[in-house]
């Protein structure tokens, strides 16, 4: 609740009433601003002008090392720092000079204190810049990049007022070129920028030098920071270290593929190492199969962890640090129930200020199993960015742990464990998705409270797909409802499901590279992932022939007394990759859709009076007779054949099989009918009501040529004219089962 005095104080700084009320909701920020304003009032008296008030607000919202607040407030109140540019320079200076004492002479020089830029100096700097580019200006006139003139003039006069420079540039350009003419309004054509190689691409993350974590925006500096960073460099030798830290309570999905690529890829690109660390702090939900599946998926994507570690490796150290926090008055045992801690504004704990001796005894009692689950937690004394107060560090759970058994009945939380494990493993880049940004303050606070090395946390946007759900809870609901078979059902977007469907790991990695790393959440169309799959399989999947809806064709004048062996290239576009043989007998099977009794405009396949070629055989067949069954349906065709070079070339060549294998083929479509099945506006009945009834079609009597007879699970083929297919693990000696991975084209109607 905003008090009238606080509200008046903040609005007196020039903040709007709404902005002041929002600020008061953040206890840490409002405390810092109140103290800064009080100090400024002591220097300036009862009134603070709006420009100074804005600088004070900017200062406290950006300053992380609060030891420097009083020092910087005095410079602002005394008008020695009076522009945003100077304040930015001041903040950068104190961030890069964390040790006492500050060299005030050097500080003032770096921040432009006392520097006066006259209008004459601005005029001369702009005139010099315009003279330098005069020929190009006269040629391009108002299509010239005026920002270049501004930038060069600002570089010459670092502390000059930006508005004054802009006004001077506008005036001198007008004097040189005169008023704009109609031709000046035509936009300059854009020149395509050369694509940077991967090694040349740099982000903000790359500009922080080894061991210079303290220069990262938002990094909290303490008196111990520099010594800890020095020790860190001695241990790592400046090596980049990342980690992929999944919870072993579910199967990885396409979003995790982005995280794997980013963590392992960034380390590899910088000659560093990446740990695979299992965050096994919740024994209730963890199963051995998830550990195995996660490791398998990481290696399947082509990455080898430097080391596989577990949060449970560090349980003893984490417990010792928790005791240290209590000793320091930074943590306490609380008895509020879980339901009391939920919501946006939970009540403060009545046990927050209990004596630390009492908390030490109670925490030991928690460890010894003297509290039931939910009766006691250990909480840390801090406020996070999202306003959450005193996050839980330890809770009671009487579930045996898969690695430590019954040794512990208290387990650390993610908020407590994550940053400390990063510190123990000397991670340099703690890369995590955007939702963890609200935990950055607890990350820095906890490492600094325990005086241990503090890595840098970087956030990036999640990767999602339309027509999909990836939540563990919702996938379990799909399994329970019988909508899918299990976590690896090929209609899902878990990595095990994608592997089973036949997606190559290279295609998934390529997709992640195309999506890139952004701060914003990315939701992509599935067909973009499928395009990456086609790119890989086109060069990797050997060709075969299959018929999904067979129609028997008898060649009445077959040219040989026994079947012919036909050599078929594995890759027609590159015959150096070898051939396989298939039999060609007097009875073949074609797709029922490749025959029409009467031809139609635009139809090029087999019909009465319209012959068609059989791929790879060198023969053309022509319809002679249609044999119907008792129901009147076409049962088989009788045809004659001739050499393809013995007459007119047919309009089309179709695929076929002879003496084939009978296989099961599973055809997949999107599992959901709407793009966003979890959106209550788009799907009011919930995602389970949005299931696509045509998401799976099983073809039990499909015929495939015998070249695939020895295929093993996950072997991949292109069935000519049909798509890419992969052997399913359900295959057995009596029958091969194929999953359609993707069609040949995005629109199967074009095939």
CA distance 35 to 38: 5
Catalytic residue among 21, 397, 462, 721: 462
Of 587, 598, 577, 676, the closest CA to residue 638 belongs to 587
Task: Give CA separation, 121 vs 95, 282, 438, in Å.
Answer: 31, 66, 46
DSSP class of residue 99 equals S
Of 152, 247, 324, 506, which residue is the catalytic one?
Answer: 247
For residues 467 and 496, the answer to whether their CB atoms sit within 8 Å is: no
Listed residue (733, 738, 746, 731) closest to 545, CA to CA: 738
∠ Cα 314 316 319 (to 5°):
105
**Which residue has tokens 């970087």?**
458
Catalytic residue among 64, 154, 215, 472: 472
336, two tokens: 């509020």
What number of other Cβ atoms are within 10 A of residue 681's Cβ?
6
Per the CB < 8 A criterion, the answer to whether 33 and 2 are in contact is: no
**Residues 572/583, Cβ–Cβ less than 8 Å:** no
CA 649, CA 595: separation in Å to the nearest integer? 18
Q: 74: closest CA among 107, 36, 104?
A: 36
List CB contacts of 312: < 8 A, sequence separation 6 or more.
280, 281, 401, 403, 404
107: helix, strand or coil: helix
564 DSSP β-pair partners: 584
Give catalytic status of residue 462 as yes or no.
Answer: yes
Distance between the two ends of the chain, CA-based, in angstroms?
A: 66
The full DSSP string for 682-750 is T-TT-GGGGB-TTSEEEEEEEEE-GGGTT--TT-EEEETTTEEEEE-TT-BTTB-EEEEEE-SSSSGGG
Residues annotated catalytic, as ranges: 247, 462, 472
């Amino acid at each position: 609740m905003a008090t009238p005095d606080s509200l008046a104080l903040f609005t007196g700084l020039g903040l709007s009433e709404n902005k002041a009320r929002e600020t008061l909701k953040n206890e840490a920020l409002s405390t810092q601003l109140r103290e800064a304003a009080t100090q400024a009032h002591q220097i300036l008296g009862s009134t603070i002008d709006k420009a100074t008030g804005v600088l004070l607000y900017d200062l406290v919202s950006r300053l992380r090392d609060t030891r420097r607040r009083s020092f910087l407030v005095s410079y602002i109140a005394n008008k020695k720092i009076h522009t945003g540019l100077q304040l930015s320079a001041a903040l950068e200076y104190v961030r890069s000079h964390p040790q006492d004492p500050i060299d005030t002479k050097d500080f003032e020089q770096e921040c432009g204190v006392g520097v006066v830029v006259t209008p004459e100096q601005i005029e001369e700097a702009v005139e010099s810049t315009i003279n330098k580019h005069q020929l190009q200006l006269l040629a391009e006139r108002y299509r010239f990049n005026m920002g270049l003139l501004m930038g060069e003039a600002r570089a010459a006069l670092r502390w000059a007022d930006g508005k004054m420079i802009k006004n001077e540039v506008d005036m001198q350009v007008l004097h040189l070129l005169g008023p704009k003419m109609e031709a000046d309004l035509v936009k300059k054509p854009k020149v395509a920028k050369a694509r940077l190689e991967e090694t040349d691409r740099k982000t903000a993350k790359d500009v922080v030098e080894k061991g210079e974590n303290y220069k990262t925006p938002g990094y909290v500096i303490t008196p111990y920071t520099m010594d800890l960073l020095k020790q860190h460099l001695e241990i790592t030798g400046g090596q980049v270290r990342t980690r992929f830290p999944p919870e072993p309570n579910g199967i990885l999905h396409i979003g995790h593929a982005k995280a794997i690529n980013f963590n392992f890829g960034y380390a590899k690109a910088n000659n560093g190492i990446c740990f695979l660390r299992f965050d096994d702090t919740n024994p209730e939900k963890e199963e051995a199969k998830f550990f195995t599946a996660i490791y398998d998926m990481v290696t399947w994507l082509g990455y080898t962890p430097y080391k596989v570690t577990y949060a449970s490796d560090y349980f003893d150290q984490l417990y010792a640090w928790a005791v240290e926090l209590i000793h320091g008055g930074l943590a306490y045992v609380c008895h509020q129930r879980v339901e009391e801690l939920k919501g946006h504004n939970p009540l403060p704990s009545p046990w927050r200020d209990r004596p630390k001796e009492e908390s030490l005894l109670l925490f030991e009692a928690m460890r010894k199993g003297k509290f039931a689950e939910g009766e006691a937690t250990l909480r840390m004394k801090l406020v996070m960015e999202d306003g959450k107060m005193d996050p839980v560090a330890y809770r009671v759970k009487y579930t045996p742990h898969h690695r430590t058994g019954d040794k512990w009945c208290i387990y650390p939380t993610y908020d407590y464990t994550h940053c400390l494990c990063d510190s123990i493993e000397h991670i340099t880049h703690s890369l995590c998705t955007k939702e963890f940004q609200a935990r950055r303050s607890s990350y820095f606070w906890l490492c600094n409270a325990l005086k241990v090395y503090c890595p840098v946390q970087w956030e990036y946007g999640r990767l999602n797909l339309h027509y999909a759900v990836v939540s563990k809870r919702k996938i379990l609901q799909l399994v329970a409802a019988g909508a899918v078979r299990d976590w690896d059902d090929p209609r899902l977007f878990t990595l095990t499901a994608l592997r089973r469907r036949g997606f190559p790991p290279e295609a998934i990695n390529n997709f992640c590279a195309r999506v890139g790393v952004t701060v914003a959440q990315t939701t992509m169309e599935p067909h973009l992932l499928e395009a990456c799959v086609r790119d890989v399989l086109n060069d990797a999947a050997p060709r075969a022939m299959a018929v999904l809806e067979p129609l028997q064709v008898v060649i009445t004048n077959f040219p040989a007394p026994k079947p012919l062996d036909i050599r078929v290239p594995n890759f027609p576009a590159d015959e150096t990759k070898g051939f396989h043989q298939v039999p060609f007998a007097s009875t073949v099977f074609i797709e029922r859709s490749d025959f029409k009794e009467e031809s139609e405009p635009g139809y090029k396949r087999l019909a009465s009076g319209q012959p068609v070629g059989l791929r790879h055989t060198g023969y053309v067949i022509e319809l002679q007779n249609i044999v119907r069954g008792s129901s009147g349906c076409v049962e088989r065709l009788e045809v004659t054949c001739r050499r393809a070079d013995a007459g007119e070339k047919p309009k089309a060549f179709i695929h076929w099989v002879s003496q084939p294998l009978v296989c099961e083929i599973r055809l997949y479509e999107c599992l959901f009918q709407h793009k966003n099945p979890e959106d209550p506006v788009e799907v009011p009945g919930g995602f389970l009501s949005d299931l696509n009834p045509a998401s799976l079609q099983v073809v039990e009597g499909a015929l495939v040529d015998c070249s695939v007879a020895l295929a093993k699970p996950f072997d991949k083929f292109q069935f000519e004219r049909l798509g890419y297919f992969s052997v399913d693990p359900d295959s057995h000696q009596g029958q091969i089962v194929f999953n359609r991975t993707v069609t040949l084209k995005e629109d199967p109607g074009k095939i």
